[in-house]
Structures are given as structure tokens and as C-alpha cells.
Amino acid sequence: TERNEKIKYIKDLAAGGVLFASLIALAVGILIFVHHLF
């Protein structure tokens, strides 16, 4: 149904957002870690 498609889209969007946020957090963590090492 229309509603299920919308829910699926929202879930995909949320999953993408979480993935994106975790990748940014990882990149920032690596940058800070490397900055402190050298």
C-alpha cells in the first residue's frame, strides 16, 4: 500500500542518516587521534 511504501522510504532515509553520521564521527575521531599522535 501507499503507507507501507512511505514507511519503507522513511526507514531507508533514517538508516542512511545513521550511516552518514557514523562515518562522519569516525572521520572526526581519526582526525583527532592522528592530530594527537603527531
pLDDT of residue 8: 95
Q: Give dist(CA 1, CA 7) in Å, integer.
A: 10
For residue 1, pLDDT over 90 is answered with no
| Range of the structural domain that residue 31 is part of | 1-38
Q: Work out the angle at residue 9's Cα, subtended by the Cα atoms of residues 7 and 11, and round it to the nearest 5 degrees.
A: 70
For the chain, give the number of residues: 38
pLDDT grade for 38, boundaries at 50, 70 and 90:
confident
Tell me the H-state helices in 1-38: 2-37
Helix (H, G, I), strand (E, B) or coil at 1: coil
pLDDT of residue 33: 94
pLDDT grade for 19, boundaries at 50, 70 and 90:
very high
Q: Give dist(CA 12, CA 22) in Å, integer.
A: 15
For residue 28, pLDDT over 80 is answered with yes
The number of domains in the chain is 1
